A and B are shown apart, each in its own frame.
Chain A
Amino acid sequence: MSSLLELDNLTKFYGNIIALEGVTTTVEAGEVTCVLGDNGAGKSTFIKILAGVHTHDAGELRLDGKSVSFPNPRASLAEGIATVYQDLAMVPLMSVWRNFWLGQEPTKGRWPFKHIDTELAKGVAKEELSKMGIDIRDVEQPVGTLSGGERQSVAIARAVYFGARVLILDEPTSALGVKQSGVVLKYILAARDRGLGVIFITHNPHHAYPVGDRFIVLNRGRSMGNFAKADLPREELVQMMAGGAELDQLTHELESNSDGNGGN
């Protein structure tokens, strides 16, 4: 049986710059694949290829076993690959339910009187959010009044509702505090449990490890390996993220001064 999404030696050049080289991993339905990497590691390029902003130059991208390439974001979206960007596709001054349905409002009635089915829209928004375990007080409140974590969760719920099979989350926890990050991680698991293949992009191994089933670490455009969770203890992941030997050195230096701290 083929995986939901397979990346086989995916490579991307910008002119003569190698942005991404030889990235291989799989995304299974109901699993979380974490993509880790420091700034400039190629995470953005990785997302853009999957989201259809750029096309890859070499290697193969297989969806349900078929080789594909997305010429534009719409094509990617049409195949059920939804991307929740870091800056969020949300309009802060609009209510939660209007944001949830934006661009695909349910309507009823015939033309001159064709209008949004408000009750249905509000009901579905509320229900979908609560299915994800999101307790929105009032779907009428503007998104701008929600916390960062809540906004992420609305974006995730929206992607899930509109038929996403693969959910790409671009650094969803990077701007959040500890508690809010925990909330978002919970939603990631909720999306996974609803059978989506989740790609979780982050630079924080402590966020990735508890939720991930599979890890791929990028460094300067190259893949440093593609691991199943069982093959990769947490410490090793943390170390790999921070640059292995360099971190050992750093830890050593710091510890000789005071009690040092690794990753994070």
Chain B
Amino acid sequence: MTTTANGETIPSAGDERLAYRGVGQRMLIRPEIVGMLAAVLLYMFFWGVTQPFGTAGGVATVLDVSATLGIMAVAVGILMIGGEFDLSSGAMTGAMGIVIILLVKETGELGGAGLSYWIAIPLSLAIALGIGWLNGTMVERTALPSFIVTLATFFVLRGLKLAGSKIIVDQIQVGRADEGRQYEFWQNIFGSSWERRDHIWEARDGVYTALCIFGGIFILLALYEFSFRRSSILKPKGLALLLVGFVGIGAGVGLLHILDGTDWLAMLVIGVSAMLAGVGLGIWRYETVPDRGSLTLGPTVLQPIGKAFGFLAAAVASALFFDSANDTDILPFVTEQGLRAILFLGFLSGAIVFSLVSLSRARMVSPVAQGTVLGLTAVVTFAVALFIQSESQSAKFRSELFGMLSILALILAVWAVALLLFESRRFEDQNADRTARRVALLGGVLAIAGVLTRLLFSIQAEIDAKNPSVLATFSIRIVWFVLFTAVMAYILRATPFGSWVYAVGGNKEAARQIGVPAARTKTQLFMLVAGAAWLVGILLAFRLNTIQAGTGNGLEFEYIIAAVVGGTLLTGGYGSVFGAAIGALIMAMSKQGISFAGWNTDWRFVFLGGILLGAVVANGYVRKIAESAR
């Protein structure tokens, strides 16, 4: 029997049971993990090279662009999990927009039907679901690939849109959604937006910081609960230490706020308090580690560390070499300061990837090895934060990136110490998992509340500075996007229907043999996509007021790309709703980022192609690692 000092039992002869999977490994097997990382990297990238990214206005724009794409990507992603494609989905969005306008229009001769929106909206939904049902039934009855069947639907819809518009309104566009009856009421639901212009809250940054810190603390608590073995008795000594640590963190944050910015004393107070809290929490609830193992770092661990340092050196070198104040183009479309940011962040990402690799390998060796590598990472992260702070001319880089990296370094350091002191859990503990999930959820909600506070309120100083990007306009599409994603995620994960979707996509014959209504499930999926297209059609009609006959044509591939980037398998049976939503965010970010950066937007497609290829390769690679790690 081989036991790593980490407390993990490596399966050997006579023991088939695997060790308990840590949080990291559980995250790794999520389909959307690559998408999430890509989204973070992309965000960092554009945040580095453009001005509006990261401001409330920029975020509102990106979310607005991602909303219609995301609603469709989620629906198409679910259909792909169910093993089918719908090439008519793009054309259907425009078609549904046209249908709803024609239903409410009141122009004489061959005009529209002149119905009230109250009738037109459910009626158009019925029409959409009918088209979806037709798609599904044709695929099931003919047993042809859905690629072909929906390609046919696509052409039919495309032709109908063009010919129908010409016949009915004698134009290739159908317009004036606002002439319909009861437009005002439905405008609130499908077309309104929410301007955050004069909502001033001077305490905003304090609230934001506090919520984020407490969110972070709860997430860290959850991480402890996930990772360490609970002790049979609670030691009050540890609880006292934890509370002292909390008070210290609070005091430190207060100090930071008063002293404005980077104060060594405040940072020292926060660092020490966080360490105290981390150790105290461990002493309070968890077992101390009996054997820390030896610090023998073989080449498997050291090699990636070496590579990480190489990337780090390259990042620092590129930052020192290029002039951060020069905003003239030195490459086509790229300014010197832009190139500097790109190279710096790119090399930094490389360093992060390799430090993660070395960390996962050190995990196999011993807790002391893991703790050491993690501690090293923490120190280097903090050094990078300091470097950025001293080097950068941009205030954005200085304050925000420095803060983020310092907090990251602190978390890593606390975690490194905790790994050295406390025993990792070896087996399933349902109760601990449940507690941990709830605490993590609480932490996530707090952090999101913090970010929302930051987005939704302004402070007088920003208004005075006349920075236009503080004026954010959030459209109601975003609400629809979030709602739709949440409901679909719930359905896919928690209902029998969700299980059947994965089953018909993974192995249709098996699913049928065992009693899953495979044909019905697939037909319902096509209807789901059509329903989503209806929703997007209405959103388009209320936004654009006039829909072109070609609206939506060709977008079906963007939906598929978004789903694939989010980890959905083209062959079906694997993927997630959040993945598709994140894929849509990635695409919206690249779209908006390129235009914010002032580059030629034609490059968008090159960018998209690159992202698609990269995501597919990375998804396959990560899935392989995840499978072998089981």
A-side residues, CB < 8 A to B, are 73-74, 77, 85, 87-94, 98, 101-105, 107, 114-116, 118, 135, 137-138, 141, 145
Contacts and interface: CB of A to CB of B under 8 A. Distances in A.
B510 A91 contact: yes
B503 A94 contact: yes
A91 B502 contact: yes
Contact of A114 (B495, B503, B511, B569): B495
B496 A90 contact: no
B17 interface: yes
A105 B496 contact: yes
Contact of A98 (B499, B507, B569): B499
Contacts of B506: 91-94
A145 B516 contact: no
Interface string B558-584: 000000000001000110000000000
Contact of B574 (A89, A93, A118, A137): A93
Contacts of B495: 107, 114-116
Contact of A115 (B494, B510, B513, B574): B494
B630 interface: yes
7 tightest Cβ-Cβ pairs between the two chains A and B: A103-B515, A91-B506, A115-B494, A105-B496, A89-B510, A89-B513, A91-B507
A145 to B, nearest CB: 5
B1 interface: no
Interface string B487-507: 000100011100110110011
B14 to A, nearest CB: 12
B18 interface: yes
B573 A91 contact: yes
Nearest to A155: B514
Contacts of B569: 93
Contacts of A103: 500, 503, 511, 514-516
A237 B563 CA distance: 57
B141 to A, nearest CB: 20
Nearest to B496: A105
Given A116-B495, A135-B16, A89 B514 contact: yes
A217 to B, nearest CB: 28
A91 B574 contact: no
Nearest to A117: B494
A116 B495 CA distance: 5
Contacts of A94: 499, 502-503, 506, 573
Contacts of A77: 515
Contacts of B513: 73, 85, 89
Contacts of A90: 507, 510
A93 B496 contact: no
B627 interface: yes
Max chain B C-beta neighbours (<10 A), residue from A94, A98, A105, A135: A94
Main secondary structure, interface of A, reads loop
Contacts of A88: 510
Given A88-B510, A115-B494, A116-B495, A102 B503 contact: yes
A98 B500 CA distance: 9
A103 B496 CA distance: 8
B496 A116 contact: yes
Contact of B514 (A102, A114, A141): A102
Interface in B5-50: 16-18, 21
B627 A93 contact: no
B21 to A, nearest CB: 8
Interface in B100-137: none
Contacts of B496: 105, 107, 116
A102 B16 contact: no
Nearest to A115: B494
A90 B514 CA distance: 9
A94 B496 CA distance: 13
Contacts of B514: 89, 102-103
Contact of A93 (B17, B502, B516, B630): B502
16 contacts: A88-B510, A89-B510, A89-B513, A91-B573, A93-B502, A94-B506, A94-B573, A98-B499, A98-B503, A103-B503, A103-B516, A105-B499, A115-B494, A137-B17, A138-B21, A145-B630
A74 B496 CA distance: 20
Contacts of B494: 115-116, 118
Interface string B619-630: 000000001001
Contacts of A74: 515
B630 to A, nearest CB: 5
Nearest to B491: A115
Contacts of A93: 502, 506, 569, 573-574
Interface in B512-530: 513-516
Given A98-B499, A103-B511, A105-B496, 15 more contacts: A74-B515, A91-B502, A91-B506, A91-B510, A91-B573, A92-B573, A93-B502, A93-B506, A93-B569, A93-B574, A103-B503, A104-B515, A116-B494, A135-B16, A141-B630
